[in-house]
């Protein structure tokens, strides 16, 4: 099954998802996570994400620490 063949009203099983993920991963170069540092404002993270080359959805992941910092990782 390809991503275009998945009906929008159907949930994949874990096995189907794993198989699809394997095929997608094999079809392109392997990326990796990169530490991007802590940020003090969500607007700073947004600026990083939108700077060229722009990050696609899910390529920039953030968290929120109790000290107010926003740790950020990028997958590229």
Q: What does the pLDDT average to over 8-25?
A: 56
pLDDT in tens, 22-67: 665 566 666 777 778 778 888 888 888 888 777 889 988 989 888 8
CA distance 20 to 34: 24
Rounded average pLDDT over 5-25: 56
Q: Say if CB 62 and CB 72 are below 8 A apart.
A: yes
User: What is the C-alpha to C-alpha distance for residues 57 and 49, in angstroms, rounded to an integer?
Assistant: 9
Q: Is the pLDDT of residue 14 over 70?
A: no
Q: Are 70 and 39 in contact (CB under 8 A)?
A: yes
Residue 73 has pLDDT above 60, yes or no: yes
Q: CA-CA distance, 40 to 64, in Å (whole number)?
A: 10
- pLDDT above 70 for 69: yes
Sequence ranges of the domains in the chain:
1-29, 31-76
């Amino acid at each position: 099954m390809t991503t275009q063949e998945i009906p929008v009203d159907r949930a994949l099983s874990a096995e189907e998802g794993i198989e699809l993920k394997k095929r997608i991963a094999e079809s392109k170069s392997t990326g990796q996570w990169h530490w991007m540092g802590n940020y003090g404002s969500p607007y700073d993270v947004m600026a990083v994400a939108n700077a060229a080359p722009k990050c696609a959805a899910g390529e920039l992941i953030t968290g929120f620490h109790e000290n107010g910092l926003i740790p950020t990782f990028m997958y590229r």
